Structures are given as C-alpha cells and as structure tokens.
A = this chain, B = another copy of it.
Amino acid sequence: MSRPNPVDATALPLPIFQKLANRRIILASASPRRKDILATMGLHPEVVPSTFAEDLPHSRFAGNLADYPISTGAEKAMEVYERLVKENERDPPDLVISADTVVIFPPEKDTAEGGSAHGEVSEVLEKPINKDDQAKVLGLMAGRNCEVITGVTIVYPSIEAPGFKVHSISCSTLVQFYDNSNEVIQAYVDSGEGLDRAGGFAIQGLGGILIERIDGNYDNCVGFPSAPFWRWMAELDEDGVFDEAWQ
C-alpha cells in the first residue's frame, strides 16, 4: 500500500513522531477543529468519523461525569477500528484516535460537599436544542465557571484477543465566563455560532468575547488536548506499549 506520510516535515523530530511516520493513522472524528489541532503538530491522519450514536445515559455517570466523554470516545474509536479491519483485514489501522468533548455545569468540584455550588446538580450539557435553549444556558453560566472535558482514546492492533488494545485519558479545563448581559448573549446567539457546540459556545470564535479566562489547557476547550495527548503518547511509547504493534 502506498499512502501519504501522515507526519509532515514540520513535526518535531521526537521519537513518537518518528514512530508514527508512514503508518496508517485514523482520526475517528469529523471535527475540522480536531484535524487542525493535530495538523499544528505536523500530524495529518485519515478522517473516518464514527457511526456510534452519542447516547450513553448520563445517569450511569452521576457523581463522575468526567468518565462520560471517555466512554463515548472509546466506543467511537473501537467502532472505527473494527469497521476498518472488516473492510480490509490486510490493511488494518496502526492507530485510531478518537475524542469526545463535553461541558459540565456547574463543575463537579463545585457541587461536591464544601464546593461553591453545593446543593446544585452538575449536568452534562449537550448541544443546545435551539437558540432559546442556547441563550438560556449561556445566561445560567454568565459570571460563573463551566468545565470542559475531552476524553481521548487510542486503539492499536494486538495479537491478543480481541485483536486490538485500548487506552484513554481525559483532560479538564475550567472556563470562566464574564457576567455577560442578556444583550451580549442575545447578540452572540443571533450570530448563529455555538448552536452545534456542547454548551452553546465556541471559545475560538466570536464566543471568545464571552469568556474572561481559562484555567487549564486551551486546545482542550477547542476539542482536543494537544500537549497532554502528545506527552501521554510519548510516555506510552517509552513504556514500550507500542513495541508489539509497530515493530
């Protein structure tokens, strides 16, 4: 098989990027933002969106909502890996990367006993149903924090059953909103941005004007925790995790 090298010449000459050179790498997400974030570090995976329906019941994760995006992301990555192996078992992916980003409001640390929002219930915010719903959610978050969590899963081949291995991490960033007025929120909602985003805002777009500060990794808020991901990949590689798969 001949395919373009997914690692371009701008990638830093570190062992993890050298090992990924000329391999078949899949991004199991249609998000152009995730593609861009990976491209910034010189990685250009094939894009194969998952068909897994994002409908795990939130109730299963009560008290530990941070596990929700990991579970969803893992299902996506495994679905894509198994589908591609079925399509052509002589050309299995060397690595499938998936990600799922959710917004939790109020942050779970605040609703825990002793937290500033004790008595409230933390919820996973989905994409708004419509503009009224978006304005309502942005109004609730005005002057407060929400937590953006991205779960990232990798799947790679193994000789052991079921034929692949799975690892996941998650990354959390607190996002502090200004005490935005109804006028500002309505102007943002009217722009049409954010309706397709969990929590109803895009920090990298016009939505940036709503946000005072973050505490954590920025790329994570956009949809993929780039630096934490690469550091984790380098550690897995140093531990020999990929030795069998990428001989």
Contacts and interface: CB of A to CB of B under 8 A. Distances in A.
A227 to B, nearest CB: 5
A183 interface: yes
A214 interface: yes
Nearest to A205: B40
Interface residues of A, number: 36
Contacts of A210: 227
A111 interface: no
B12 A187 contact: yes
A198 interface: no
Contact of A216 (B12, B205, B206, B213): B213
A68 interface: no
A230 B219 CA distance: 22
B227 A14 contact: no
B213 A217 contact: yes
B226 A187 contact: no
B178 A209 contact: no
A219 B227 contact: no
Contacts of A216: 213-214
Interface string A191-216: 10000000000011110111111111
A191 B12 contact: yes
A218 interface: yes
Contact of A230 (B40, B209, B230): B209
B10 A191 contact: yes
A208 B183 contact: no
